[in-house]
């Protein structure tokens, strides 16, 4: 499970890396995001109705409405921000989005917590020639319109796919890790039939990853690209 990641990429770099035309960049004056938590702003690359790549901001986590057990009234919803790969094709919560609405989630690092009281925060990334080489996580998205706690909201929401961990991540989180996509697979993830896209979900090679930093007081990524 991943409940924290960073995207410190400038919009111009995201447009270049993910082949998004300037007129399809909806991020505006996006600031570096050194700590993205569930319900936070999460930029994605998705396809519009005409099949063009678009950069847009989303609410990180599919909205799952909740009601108070005491009063029966709406309360703040859950943000389901991780989608397990073994549930994508069977769960009604995920299946339609996986089949019809896949996206790339630009990132510069992701964090997993190890232990408790205090936890050690371990920030992972991919290896390369820069301090925080950019990469893309496999994601899905969907629209939400309805009660969000005590107010009505219309949102584009996203969730990242998780898979089994590789040897580097396993020591920190033995069960899951975000699914990192190879650049050669970006187009197929966005456009291929669901069964072909599913085969792209696999642990990223440990030898192509690094630990950027780790410590007890590291709830944001202090690095940059």
**155-168 average pLDDT score:** 98
Task: Please check whether residue 161 is in contact with residue 95, taking contact to mean a CB–CB distance below 8 angstroms.
Answer: no
Residues 104-108, mean pLDDT to the nearest whole number: 98
Of 87, 78, 107, 80, nearest to 18 by C-alpha is 107
Q: Is the pLDDT of residue 225 over 70?
A: no
3-class SS at 61? Answer: coil
| Residue-number span of the structural domain to which 80 is assigned | 5-215
Render pLDDT for 174-192 as a digit per residue (tens, 0 to 9): 999 999 999 999 999 999 9
Note whether residue 28 is domain-resident: yes
pLDDT of 40 > 60? The answer is yes
Is 100 domain-assigned?
A: yes
State how many domains the chain has: 1
Residue 223 forms part of a structural domain? no
Q: Considering only the C-alpha atoms of the chain, give the largest distance between any 2 of them, rounded to a whole number of Å.
A: 55
Residue 94 lies in a domain: yes
Residue 173 CA neighbour count, 13 Å, CB half: 22
Answer yes or no: is 123 within a domain: yes
Confirm whether 50 is domain-assigned.
Answer: yes
Output the pLDDT for position 72: 80
Burial of 199 (0-12, 13-18, 19+ CB in 10 A): exposed
CATH code, 23: 3.90.1680.10
17-26, 27-36, 91-100, 133-142: range with lowest mean pLDDT: 27-36
Asked, for residue 225, whether it belongs to a domain, the answer is: no
Give the pLDDT of residue 58.
98
Average pLDDT of the chain? Answer: 94
Which is more confidently placed, 130 or 186? 186
Residue of 80, 42, 63 whose CA lies nearest to 151: 63
DSSP structure string for 117-144? SSPEEEEEEE-SSSSS--EEEEEEEEEE
In this prediction, residue 74 carries a pLDDT of 80
Residue 147 reports pLDDT greater than 90: no
Report if residue 221 sits inside a domain.
Answer: no
pLDDT of residue 62: 98
Output the pLDDT for position 224: 56
pLDDT digits 0-9 by tens, 52-105? 999 999 999 999 988 888 888 888 899 999 999 999 999 999 999 999 999 999
pTM, 2 dp = 0.95
């Amino acid at each position: 499970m991943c409940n924290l990641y960073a995207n410190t990429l400038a919009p111009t770099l995201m447009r270049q890396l993910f082949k998004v035309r300037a007129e399809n960049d909806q991020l505006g004056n996006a600031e570096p995001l050194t700590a993205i938590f569930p319900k936070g702003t999460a930029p994605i690359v998705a396809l519009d109705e005409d099949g063009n790549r678009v950069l847009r901001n989303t609410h990180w986590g599919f909205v799952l409405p909740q009601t108070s057990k005491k009063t029966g009234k709406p309360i703040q919803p859950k943000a389901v921000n991780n989608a397990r790969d073994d549930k994508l094709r069977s769960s009604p919560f995920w299946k339609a989005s996986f089949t019809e609405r896949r996206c790339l989630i630009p990132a510069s690092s992701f964090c997993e917590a190890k232990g408790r009281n205090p936890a050690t925060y371990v920030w992972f990334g991919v290896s390369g020639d820069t301090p925080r080489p950019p990469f893309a996580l496999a994601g899905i998205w969907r629209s939400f319109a309805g009660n969000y706690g005590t107010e009505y909201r219309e949102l584009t929401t996203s969730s990242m796919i998780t898979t089994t961990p590789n040897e580097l991540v396993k020591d920190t989180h033995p069960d899951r890790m975000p699914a990192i996509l190879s650049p050669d697979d970006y187009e197929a993830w966005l456009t291929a039939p669901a069964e072909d896209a599913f085969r792209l979900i696999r642990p990223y090679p440990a030898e192509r990853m690094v630990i950027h930093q780790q410590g007890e007081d590291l709830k944001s990524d202090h690095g940059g690209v």
